[in-house]
Amino acid sequence: MRHCLTILLVSIFFFIDKSICQTHFTDVTAPSGIKHVFKVYEGMFGGGACVIDFNKDGYEDVYITGGVNDDVLYKNNGNGTFTNVFEQSGMTVTKNFVTQGVTGADVNHDGFVDLFVTTITRRDKKEVIPRAINLFFLNNGNGTFRDATKEYGLDQLFSFSTSASFGDFNADGWPDLYVGNYFNEYKGKLSVINDNTVVEANQIAKGNLFLNENGKKFKDVYSDYGLDFRGFGWGGIFTDFDNDGDQDLFVNHDFGYKRTPDLLLENHYPRQDFTDVAKEKGMDLKINSMSTAVGDYNNDGLMDYYITNIWFNYFMVNQGPGKPFVNKVKELGMQFFSISWGANFADFDNDGDVDLFVANGDLNPNCVPMANYYFENLGGKFEDHARAIGLADYGIGRGSVVFDYDNDGDLDLLEVNQEPVVTDYPVPSVTKLFRNDSTSGHWIKISLNGIDAESHGIGSKIEVEAGGKKMIREIDGGASSIFSQSSVIAHFGLGNATKIDKITVYWTGGNKQIISNVSTNQLLTITEIPGKKSHFFIYLLIGLAAAAVAGFIYLKKRKTV
Amino acid sequence: MIQQKFWKKLFVVCITIAWTISSCKEENKRMPEDYEVASAWADMTNYITKNTPANTPTFASRCFGYIGLTMFESVVNDSAAVYQSVAGQLNGLGNLPVPEKGVAYNWALALNAGQAEILRNIYIQTSDKNKNKIDSLEQSFETVLKNKTPDGEVVKRSILYGKKIAQLIFEWSKTDGGHRGYLSNFDKKLVMPKRPGCWQPPLYAQSFSHYPLHPHWGNNRTFLAVDSAIDAPACIPFDTTPGSAYYNQFKQVYEKRKVLTQEEKEAAIWWSDDPDVTFTPPGHSYYLATIVIRKTKPGLVKCAETYARVGMAVADAFRNCWKWKYQFFTERANTYVTEHMDPEWQSFWPDPPFPAFPSGHAIQAAAAATVLTDLYGENFAFIDSAHVGRTRDDIRNADFKARHFNSFWQVAEETAMSRFYGGIHIPQDNERGLEKGKIIANNINRLHWKK
């Protein structure tokens, strides 16, 4: 009897050990050489990172905003350490600004990723009403960048910007840009500051929808595309929620219960407009909506959205065409209260379904420590294992990014933390790098090389079929975690599958590419096979011809009757 | 022949058009009743209150005080046999100039000029568009009222007098501590007390500020010196023991949330008077004065007295309330209930950004109700339709429906209770608020308004 009990206990321990501790994260912040904390200008705003292989050496680097501190550009040395090369990067003009978020794309299609940094005000002089231009840096291709803000027409918009995201809503291969603004913006500098301008300052703002004009200039087409919303904007994500092949836009608004709720802007490409379908799709969330993680948690081919909030987060599960989304946060076991900012879906344990990391942090200067969440996907249910696996950091979390910095096939995590305004914060609150030390599960990483599409495939979708599962990823264009952008290399955990049956790439612009029988545990680069650009016009001509014939027959029939 | 017919027709048409235009003009030029001039300015005051960004109930309450007082002082000599100026009885204003003896004034013109002047000055931060609205109301009344007073000298004298009164009162207002208070809504250097039961910045919030609103408002000058000397209300001491008096206060809020009726939800949203989208709670009181005035159509001076009393009552109520709020610095149910009863609990209405005790809604509503009762009697039936026509509150599943009342005190009690329904005030916040509001208003009532 006693013996049996021992066996039972041992097996339980073994079981627990196996089920909970498969994935383990190690805090490698210090050994990796990362020394960063985001310092707020005032209040809760800011703190993001952008994963970018700026020197194309195959090791992903990371740019992190500093707020009132200097930004950093950490070059990945390929040996587990990083070196801050910011001073030589050509981006030191950011020192004059209070930076917030950062996002990247190959704006001029030269193969190198360019960077867009959002700001709220200047650091080098005190603005009565905090506003400033955002900054755009072109990658020179030699490890440095140059300030192209003016060249791209972005130097006259004085805004209080939060998160920015790249997408290609007109599917022309030139990545476009959406910028979230929290307070109202000014076109040109405010020449007079009086009591009226001061009280008008903290009003809700329009977002900017910047159309990339042939890689040479950005043009704000917000109203041209039928948009006239104002809100306390935290940014938005480009995502194809309705699987119609074009990129829609989901916008996060703070104080949706008082002002403008979240927007789900359906793209009517090739028509040049968006319409807000949030209400009918149940996505007009009236909450303190911060940011959105995108992932297909149940591998049903439909993108689901986890929206961070104050108190309880929302997990809006896609029910397919014609049906509204359903909030399943409670049903799926994720009903915990906190103040959440960044969130990332990723298959951290390589078992063939996406798990979820959530960065939590108080509304600095309020400084109650709160741990992050790590929701392990148990199939139909999630469980928070943050403490068990070493991700329950108590810093004041904001943006978070996932990437495989050590190229070992599992996804590591970087979380930007804010410096507490109070002096008695009980734990260190600094930016953390967590190395994923999981050992099990096969995987594949896919890097896209866009020819017609953006050169890293931003906005494109990849579908992987393996081991009886069909998994899908959208290439991250930014703001998927607040102020931040994760790796553009798609990562899929494959569990026990040793072979991938099929990979399908849905490029923005409509090209579709299929590759079969791919081996696992490798980084695969897929280069786009350019399509015939005239497709659309051919279909249009065929359509017109058919209509003409039909009309002709109809008229003839009518005559004979 | 055909041509003749055409000209005849054209003639008729022209005459008709001309007659229509002239009759329209005639209509516009109808001499407004005194109460119409007064209440039109109260409407304008509430419009500016509502449509000026970054406005707050504190700043708004103070403005109602000065605007109402200006109205009274600009017309009080219309009825010099009965009424008298209260300027000398106030906290340091001193006597205001008296009209010239033996010459005529048009008092409605004086009111018109005075209201425009004080509004433009005290709401200097409002938009140019709003300032143009003030100007055009002033202009349109001036044009009509001039017809009644053919003597240009009388017109000039009346306008000058109204303006002078407004300017002197505005000068006085500059030293009360609340002048341009919208520039310092939140003190980011404020060190907040940290003791059990203290107010915490809300998570389900009405405002993005994590600092409390106007923490120094309690140091402002009151309209009446005596109002500043009123004793602080008694507050139940903090206690986490279930069954304790403090605990039970929050327990009531917690239990009420579960059984809110549709009518209670409607009351909760009706009285919320969110400063971002409405004329603020003291604006609601000023609006009630307008309802009474439109219903009873009193003479010019009584109209002005009504606004002056309501305005100063809500101003002193808010000032005292804010003094006590920061003296006690008590928490809201969203803090206590989630810590001690139910971590998932959330109030029906979001938290405002300032401490709870006592309730600002209750104290100002009681103050307004007490002065209105003194002026118009205890039983006064009316319909409040302030928010009729606003879009339904989808989040709370409630509509904005007109409300019927039989007395002013009924309004005060419902205003107070609405905060309890909203889950943002415990009973003692409301009870002490109502009590103190009454005391403040009685001091206002006791001023020597009449000779």
Interface contact flag, B276 A363, Cβ < 8 Å: no
Report d(CA B225, CA A330) in Å as an integer.
56
CB A484 within 8 A of CB A362: no
CB A76 within 8 A of CB A137: no
The pLDDT confidence band at residue B9, using thresholds 50, 70 and 90, is low
For residue range B187-227, what is the model confidence (pLDDT) as tens digits? 989 999 989 999 999 988 888 888 999 999 999 999 999 99
Report d(CA A504, CA A460) in Å as an integer.
11
Interface contact flag, A258 B206, Cβ < 8 Å: yes
Which residue ranges of chain A lie beneath pLDDT 50? 1-21, 561
Report d(CA A218, CA A153) in Å as an integer.
6
Interface test with B, best of A44, A126, A192, A196 (most B CBs within 10 A): A196
What is the model's pLDDT at position B24?
Answer: 45
Interface contact flag, A366 B125, Cβ < 8 Å: no
CB A168 within 8 A of CB A458: yes
From the CA of A533, how many Å to the nearest CA of chain B?
A: 47
From the CA of A244, how many Å to the nearest CA of chain B?
A: 31
Comparing alpha-carbon positions, the chain A residue that sits nearest to B344 is A337
CB B279 within 8 A of CB B49: yes
Please give the single-letter amino acid code of residue B247.
Answer: Y
Report d(CA B115, CA B251) in Å as an integer.
47
Report d(CA A411, CA A481) in Å as an integer.
15
Tally Cβ neighbours within 10 Å of residue A111: 13
Interface contact flag, B210 A258, Cβ < 8 Å: no
Q: Does A505 touch chain B (CB under 8 A)?
A: no
- Residues of chain B with C-beta less than 8 angstroms from the C-beta of A44: 210
Within 54-93 of A, beta carbons closer than 8 Å to B belong to none
What is the model's pLDDT at position A2?
Answer: 41
Residue A169 phi/psi, 5-degree rounding, is -75, -20
Q: At residue B86, does pLDDT exceed 60?
A: yes
Where are any strands of DSSP class E within A277-349?
A: 292-295, 304-307, 310-311, 314-317, 326-327, 338-346
Please give the single-letter amino acid code of residue B214.
Answer: H
Interface test with B, best of A44, A258, A290 (most B CBs within 10 A): A258
Report d(CA B391, CA B378) in Å as an integer.
33
What is the model's pLDDT at position A98?
Answer: 98
- Residues of chain B with C-beta less than 8 angstroms from the C-beta of A257: 350, 395
From the CA of B203, how many Å to the nearest CA of chain A?
A: 7
CB A94 within 8 A of CB A106: no
- Residues of chain A with C-beta less than 8 angstroms from the C-beta of B337: none
β-pair type (A522-527, A442-449): parallel
Question: In terms of DSSP H, where are the helices of A201-255?
Answer: none
For residue range B176-198, what is the model confidence (pLDDT) as tens digits? 999 999 999 999 899 999 899 99
CB A444 within 8 A of CB A520: yes
Q: What is the DSSP letter of A289?
A: -
What's the number of CA atoms in the CB half-sphere (13 Å) around residue B108?
23
Comparing alpha-carbon positions, the chain A residue that sits nearest to B348 is A257
Q: Does A553 touch chain B (CB under 8 A)?
A: no
Give the C-alpha distances (Å, rounded to integers) separating A16 from A110, A535, B14. Answer: 50, 55, 96
Tally Cβ neighbours within 10 Å of residue B174: 12
Tally Cβ neighbours within 10 Å of residue A380: 11
Report yes or no for ipTM above 0.85: yes
What is the model's pLDDT at position B11?
Answer: 57
Q: What angle do CA B98, B99, B101 make, to 5 degrees?
A: 110
Report d(CA B82, CA B68) in Å as an integer.
19
Residues forming a β-bridge with A117: A102, A135
- Preceding amide of A130 cis, omega within 30: no
Q: Which residues of B touch A (CB under 8 A)?
A: 52-55, 124-128, 180, 182-183, 188, 200-201, 203-206, 208, 210, 274, 276, 343-344, 346, 350, 394-395
For residue range B340-374, what is the model confidence (pLDDT) as tens digits? 999 989 999 999 999 999 999 999 999 999 999 99
From the CA of A402, how many Å to the nearest CA of chain B?
A: 29
Q: What is the DSSP letter of A353?
A: S
From the CA of B110, how many Å to the nearest CA of chain A?
A: 28
Structure tokens at A73: 């550009």
- Residues of chain A with C-beta less than 8 angstroms from the C-beta of B53: 199-200, 202-203
Report d(CA A517, CA A498) in Å as an integer.
10
For residue range A257-298, what is the model confidence (pLDDT) as tens digits? 999 999 999 999 999 999 999 999 999 999 999 999 999 999
- Residues of chain A with C-beta less than 8 angstroms from the C-beta of B55: 199
What is the model's pLDDT at position B290?
Answer: 98
Out of B54, B208, B350, whose CB is closest to A254? B208
Comparing alpha-carbon positions, the chain B residue that sits nearest to A337 is B344
β-pair type (A461-466, A412-418): unpaired
- CA neighbor of A252 nearest in space, from A479, A484, A487: A479
Tally Cβ neighbours within 10 Å of residue A326: 13
Reduce the DSSP state of residue B67 to 3 states and report it: helix
Q: Does A498 touch chain B (CB under 8 A)?
A: no
Residues forming a β-bridge with A472: A463
Report d(CA A495, CA A467) in Å as an integer.
8
Report d(CA A475, CA A247) in Å as an integer.
11
- Residues of chain A with C-beta less than 8 angstroms from the C-beta of B395: 257, 286
- CA neighbor of A163 nearest in space, from A233, A101, A97: A101
Residues forming a β-bridge with A132: A159
Region of residue B94 (phi > 0: left; psi between -120 and 50: alpha; otherwise: beta): left
CB B425 within 8 A of CB B249: no
Reduce the DSSP state of residue B101 to 3 states and report it: coil
Interface contact flag, B124 A199, Cβ < 8 Å: no
Tally Cβ neighbours within 10 Å of residue A171: 22
How long, in residues, is chain B?
451
Out of B55, B125, B204, whose CB is closest to A196? B125
Mean pLDDT of B142-152: 90
Quick one: which H or E segment has residue B9?
A: helix B2-28
Structure tokens at B105: 């004034």
Interface contact flag, B210 A203, Cβ < 8 Å: no
Q: Does A128 touch chain B (CB under 8 A)?
A: no
Q: At residue B319, does pLDDT exceed 60?
A: yes
Cβ contacts below 8 Å, chain A against chain B, sum to 59
For residue range A354-380, what is the model confidence (pLDDT) as tens digits? 999 999 999 888 888 999 999 999 998
Mean pLDDT of B401-407: 97
Out of A203, A255, A337, whose CB is closest to B53? A203
Q: At residue B17, does pLDDT exceed 70?
A: no
Q: Does A311 touch chain B (CB under 8 A)?
A: yes
Interface test with A, best of B183, B208, B211, B277 (most A CBs within 10 A): B208
Interface contact flag, B201 A363, Cβ < 8 Å: yes
Comparing alpha-carbon positions, the chain A residue that sits nearest to B188 is A42
